[in-house]
C-alpha cells in the first residue's frame, strides 16, 4: 500500500501524527540545549541570577560571599528593542492597478492599518514579538478572523419553513419544523495573538522557515468557554488537564509554578494550499479524541508570522546575539560580587596598635581624645584591607565594553558618550552605526510588519462582508469615522513598510536633516521646522504635492473617459500642463481627435488662468504669471466677449477678489486691458504669443 501524506489522513490519524511531531520537536530542542539557551536568556533578562532574584543575597559555604548582580544584559536588550521599534512604521498599501479608484482604495487600506495599529493595539503585540525575538530568539504573531467579534449586524430567522439545519460550524440548529430563536450575525473582526517559541511547532527538516508548508501552534483557552461552543465535546473538554497540571513545557519559560487555572491547551494546525493539499487544511483539537474543527484552509497563506534576528545555519531555529552575552553577564556578576564581598567584609576600618605603647581601646574608640603613646613602641595605625585589586575593575570595564561591542549598542546609544565625541554630527554618526548593526533584526521587523499588514488586509478583503466603521487618519493626522467593507479595498494586493533610515531615528540626525532642508528652502515656516525636528516625518512637507498629483491623475483618467474637467485659479498650472501633456504621449490615445481636443482645451484653460489671475494670488501659490496675447480690437469693452476668459474657468478677469467679495467695485480691480503688475515690472512689458507661453511652461525654447 502506498504511503499517504499525514496531512491528508482522516482527522483522528492526522492529529495522532501531529502529537508525535510535537513531542519530537520538543525533544529535539531539549537534546540540542537550544531550549536551555532560551530559558537562561529569559532568566537573565528578568534578573534571576541568584536564588533571591533582585535581592542582595549571600553565597559560599558559610554565607561569606555577597551575591551582587548588575544587569547589563537587560539594559542592552532594551536598547536594541528601542532602536528597532522607536520609529513608528509607515504602511504603504500597493494596489493592483494605478487608476485613481485603486489608489484611493490603497489610501483607505493605509488608514485601516493605522487604525488597527493604534486603536486595536496591534502595535503593542508587534513590539512584544520583537522583544521575544531579542530575548528568546524568535517571536510569532497569529492573525485569524473571529466571526463572533464586533457588534451584531443582523439576525437570521430560523423557523419551521427554513431548510437550515446547521450553523456555519456544522452544529445543529434544531430539528426541522422546530421554531428557533433568531440566529445572530456579527460583524466579525481580526483577532491577533502573541506566541513564544514554546507555542509554535514546524517542520524542523526545512532549512528555511519560510519554506514550511504547515505550522502547528498552541494557545490556552478557558475550557468552559470551549464546552459551551462545542457542546457535543463538552465532557472531553472539561476533563482536559489545565495549564497548571500540564507537563513542564506548558509552563513556557517561567521558573515559578503556575497558579490554578481553567485554561487548557488547544492546538491549531494550518496547512497551506499545495499540490498535495490543493485546498489546504485546518484542524482545531485538544487531543485525538477531542477534535473541534476539521475543514479546508480558510486563509490565503499561513496566518502565523515570525520575527527573528537571524537563523542557525542549516536549521529553521531563530538565534539572537543576546545568547552570546550570557557568559559575559555571569562573569560580570562574579566581578561585582567579588568587589562587594571585599567591601562588605573589610569596609569597617581596623586599628593596629603595638602592644604596650600605652594606648587603650577606649582612647581610640571615641573622637576628641588626647592620646599619649610610647614612641619607641609605635603609634596606632589603620589596617586597610578594603582595597580591591585594580585588575578587578579593569576587567569589569573590559567586559562591559565587550558586551556593548557584541550587542552593537555603543556608549552613545546608552547615553554615556565618550569624551572625544562632542559634535552633534559625530554623535549622530556613531549612533546610526549602532542602528546599522541591528539591521538584521530591523529587516526581520520590516518583513514582519509587511507580512502582518498584508495578512490583515487579506482578512478584511475575504471576511469583512458587512459594513463596519473605523477611525481613519486623514489629512494632517485628523481622524474621521468611515464606513467600509471588503469591496472597498479589493484592489489592494500587498503592503510595504517604510521605516526610514537610521539617521532619522536620532535627535541629532533629525536636527541635521532639518538644517539641510532649511538651507535648501524646503522649510519655509517655523512649524515645518519643528515638525521635522520632533518627529523626523517628512510627509508634512510633501503631502500637498502628493494630493496635487492625485488630482492631476484623476483629471487625466476623466478626460480619457470623455468626462469634462475644469481648471481653477489655485491649481499648480505649470505642473498640470506638463502632466496633462503625458496623455497625448500615448500614440493610441493621440489618434482620438475628440480626446486630443479635450486635452488641448483643458491645457489652454490653465494658460488662460496664468494670464488673467491676479499675479499676487499666483505668487502666493508659487506660480509665474504669463502675459496675455495682443488684445483684439474692442475687447474689454461692454458687450464685447473677452477671448482670454472662456466659460468654465471659474475665475473672473480681475482675479479672485471680485469673486470673493461681491461688494468690491471694478474701481478696485485691475483693468482687463492692463493686467495688474505691468506697471511695477511683475509681468513682461511686451506680450507674448501662445506658442511662446506653451514653450515657457513645458521647458522648451
pLDDT category, 378, cuts 50, 70, 90?
Answer: confident
- In whole angstroms, what is the distance from residue 51 CA to residue 555 CA? 72
What pLDDT is recorded for position 674?
A: 42
pLDDT reported for residue 73 = 96
Interval 464-487 mean pLDDT: 72
Supply the pLDDT for residue 650. 45
Q: Is the pLDDT of residue 434 over 70?
A: no
- Segment 593-604 shows an average pLDDT of 92
Q: How far is CA 199 from CA 22, 98, 217, in A?
A: 10, 41, 6
**Of 174-188, 217-231, 629-643, highest mean pLDDT:** 217-231
Closest to 29 in 3D by CA, of 37, 20, 40, 41: 37
**Residue pLDDT, tens place only, 646-678:** 444 444 444 433 333 434 443 343 444 344 333
Which of 375-384, 473-482, 492-501, 590-599 shows the lowest mean pLDDT across its residues?
473-482
How confident is the model over 612-639, as pLDDT tens digits?
A: 888 888 888 888 888 876 666 655 554 4
User: Would you state the cell numbers that stand for residue 514, as one nine-digit string?
Assistant: 532639518
Q: In this structure, are residues 291 and 278 in contact, taking their beta carbons and an 8 Å threshold? A: no
Q: Which burial class, exposed, middle or buried, applies to 141 when counting CB atoms under 10 A from its CB (0-12, 13-18, 19+)?
A: buried
Q: What cell numbers appear for 498 in the block?
A: 517604510
More confident residue, 292 or 24: 292
Per-residue cell: 452: 502582518
pLDDT at 62: 83
**Average predicted confidence (pLDDT) for the chain:** 79
pLDDT at 46: 94
Report the chain's terminal Cα–Cα distance, integer Å: 82
Q: Are strands 310-311 and 492-498 parallel, antiparallel or unpaired?
A: unpaired
pTM for this entry: 0.69
Q: Give me the mean pLDDT over the 379-387 stretch.
A: 83
| pLDDT (average), residues 585-608 | 91
Per-residue confidence (pLDDT) for residue 622, from 0 to 100: 81
| pLDDT band per the 50, 70, 90 thresholds, residue 366 | confident
- 281-295, 442-456, 678-692, range with the lowest pLDDT: 678-692
Confidence of residue 118 (pLDDT cuts 50, 70, 90): confident
pLDDT digit string (tens) for 86-114?
777 778 888 877 777 787 788 888 889 88
| pLDDT score of 686 more than 70 | no
The pLDDT of residue 508 is 60
- Contact predicate 509/538, CB 8 Å: no
Q: Does residue 447 surpass a pLDDT of 60?
A: yes
**332 pLDDT above the threshold of 90:** yes
Is residue 245 over pLDDT 60? yes
Counting Cα atoms < 13 Å in the Cβ hemisphere of 353 gives 18
Q: Which residues contact 118 (CB under 8 A, 6 or more apart)?
A: none
- As a whole number, mean pLDDT of residues 380-385 equals 82
- The pLDDT score that the predictor gives to residue 476 is 45
540 vs 237, which has greater pLDDT? 237
Residues 6+ apart with CB under 8 A from 252: 196, 198, 199
Q: Are 383 and 345 in contact (CB under 8 A)?
A: no
Q: Is the pLDDT of residue 358 over 80?
A: yes
pLDDT-wise least confident of 30-34, 131-135, 278-282, 530-534: 530-534
Q: Which of 22-36, 191-205, 584-598 has the lowest mean pLDDT?
A: 22-36
Mean pLDDT of 181-197: 85
Report the alpha-carbon distance of residue 509 to residue 684 in Å, rounded: 45
- pLDDT at residue number 394: 95
Sign of CA dihedral 392, 393, 398, 403: positive
Give the burial string for 155-171 (b: 16+ CB within 10 Å, else e). Answer: eeebeeebeeeeeeeee
Q: What is the pLDDT of residue 160?
A: 45
Q: What share of the chain in percent tops pLDDT 70?
A: 73
**Average pLDDT of span 384-409:** 89
Amino acid at each position: 500500500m502506498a504511503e499517504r501524506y499525514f496531512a491528508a489522513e482522516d482527522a483522528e490519524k492526522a492529529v495522532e501524527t501531529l502529537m508525535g511531531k510535537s513531542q519530537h520537536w520538543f525533544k529535539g530542542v531539549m537534546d540540542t540545549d537550544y531550549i536551555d539557551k532560551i530559558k537562561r536568556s529569559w532568566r537573565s533578562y528578568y534578573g534571576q541570577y541568584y536564588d533571591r532574584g533582585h535581592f542582595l543575597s549571600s553565597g559560599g559555604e558559610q554565607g561569606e560571599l555577597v551575591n551582587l548582580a548588575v544587569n547589563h544584559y537587560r539594559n542592552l536588550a532594551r536598547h536594541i528593542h528601542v532602536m528597532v521599534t522607536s520609529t513608528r512604521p509607515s504602511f504603504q498599501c500597493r494596489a493592483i492597478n494605478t487608476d485613481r479608484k485603486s489608489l484611493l482604495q490603497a489610501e483607505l487600506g493605509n488608514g485601516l492599518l493605522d487604525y488597527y495599529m493604534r486603536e486595536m493595539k496591534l502595535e503593542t503585540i508587534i513590539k512584544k514579538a520583537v522583544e521575544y525575538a531579542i530575548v528568546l530568539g524568535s517571536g510569532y504573531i497569529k492573525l485569524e478572523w473571529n466571526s463572533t467579534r464586533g457588534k451584531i449586524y443582523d439576525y437570521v430567522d430560523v423557523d419551521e419553513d427554513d431548510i437550515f439545519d446547521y450553523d456555519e460550524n456544522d452544529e445543529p440548529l434544531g430539528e426541522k419544523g422546530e421554531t428557533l430563536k433568531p440566529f445572530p450575525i456579527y460583524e466579525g473582526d481580526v483577532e491577533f495573538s502573541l506566541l513564544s517559541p514554546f507555542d509554535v511547532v514546524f517542520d524542523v527538516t526545512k532549512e528555511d522557515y519560510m519554506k514550511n508548508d504547515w505550522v502547528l501552534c498552541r494557545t490556552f483557552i478557558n475550557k468552559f468557554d470551549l464546552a459551551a461552543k462545542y457542546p457535543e465535546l463538552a465532557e472531553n473538554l472539561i476533563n482536559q488537564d489545565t495549564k497548571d497540571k500540564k507537563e513542564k513545557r506548558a509552563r513556557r519559560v517561567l521558573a515559578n509554578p503556575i497558579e490554578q487555572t481553567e485554561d487548557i491547551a488547544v492546538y491549531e494546525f494550518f496547512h497551506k494550499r499545495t499540490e498535495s493539499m490543493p485546498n489546504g487544511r485546518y484542524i482545531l483539537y485538544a487531543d485525538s479524541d477531542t477534535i473541534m474543527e476539521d475543514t479546508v484552509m480558510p486563509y490565503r497563506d499561513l496566518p502565523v508570522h515570525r520575527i527573528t534576528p537571524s537563523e542557525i545555519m542549516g536549521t529553521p531555529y531563530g538565534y539572537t546575539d543576546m545568547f552570546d552575552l550570557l557568559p559575559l553577564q555571569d562573569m560580570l556578576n562574579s566581578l561585582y560580587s567579588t568587589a562587594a564581598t571585599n567591601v562588605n567584609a573589610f569596609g569597617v576600618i581596623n586599628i593596629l596598635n603595638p602592644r604596650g605603647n600605652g594606648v587603650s581601646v577606649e582612647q581610640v574608640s571615641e573622637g576628641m581624645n588626647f592620646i599619649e603613646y610610647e614612641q619607641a613602641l609605635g603609634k596606632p595605625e589603620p589596617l586597610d584591607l578594603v582595597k580591591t585589586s585594580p585588575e578587578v575593575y579593569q576587567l569589569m570595564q573590559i567586559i562591559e565594553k565587550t558586551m556593548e561591542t557584541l550587542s552593537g549598542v555603543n556608549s552613545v546609544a546608552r547615553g554615556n558618550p565618550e569624551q572625544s565625541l562632542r559634535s552633534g554630527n559625530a554623535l549622530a554618526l556613531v549612533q546610526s552605526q549602532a542602528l546599522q548593526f541591528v539591521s538584521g533584526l530591523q529587516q526581520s521587523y520590516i518583513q514582519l510588519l509587511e507580512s502582518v499588514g498584508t495578512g490583515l488586509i487579506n482578512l478584511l478583503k475575504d471576511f469583512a462582508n458587512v459594513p463596519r466603521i473605523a477611525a481613519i487618519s486623514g489629512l494632517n493626522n485628523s481622524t474621521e469615522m468611515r464606513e467600509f467593507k471588503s469591496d472597498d479595498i479589493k484592489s489592494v494586493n500587498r503592503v510595504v513598510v517604510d521605516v526610514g533610515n537610521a539617521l532619522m531615528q536620532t535627535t541629532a540626525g533629525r536636527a541635521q536633516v532639518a538644517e539641510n532642508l532649511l538651507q535648501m528652502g524646503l522649510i519655509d515656516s517655523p512649524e515645518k521646522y519643528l515638525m521635522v525636528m520632533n518627529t523626523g516625518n517628512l510627509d508634512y512637507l510633501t503631502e500637498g504635492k502628493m494630493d496635487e498629483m492625485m488630482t492631476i491623475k484623476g483629471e487625466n483618467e476623466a478626460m480619457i473617459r470623455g468626462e469634462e474637467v475644469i481648471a481653477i485659479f489655485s491649481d499648480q498650472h505649470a505642473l498640470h500642463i506638463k502632466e496633462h501633456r503625458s496623455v497625448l504621449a500615448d500614440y493610441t490615445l493621440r489618434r482620438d481627435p475628440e480626446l486630443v481636443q479635450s486635452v488641448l482645451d483643458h491645457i489652454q484653460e490653465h494658460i488662460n488662468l496664468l494670464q488673467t489671475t491676479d499675479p499676487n494670488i499666483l505668487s502666493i501659490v508659487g506660480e509665474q504669471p504669463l502675459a496675455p496675447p495682443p488684445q483684439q480690437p474692442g475687447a474689454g469693452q461692454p458687450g464685447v466677449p473677452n477671448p482670454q476668459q472662456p466659460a468654465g474657468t471659474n475665475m473672473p478677469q480681475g482675479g479672485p477678489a471680485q469673486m470673493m467679495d461681491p461688494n468690491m467695485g471694478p474701481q478696485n480691480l485691475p483693468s482687463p486691458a492692463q493686467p495688474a503688475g505691468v506697471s511695477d515690472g511683475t509681468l513682461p512689458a511686451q506680450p507674448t504669443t501662445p506658442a511662446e507661453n506653451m514653450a515657457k511652461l513645458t521647458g522648451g525654447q
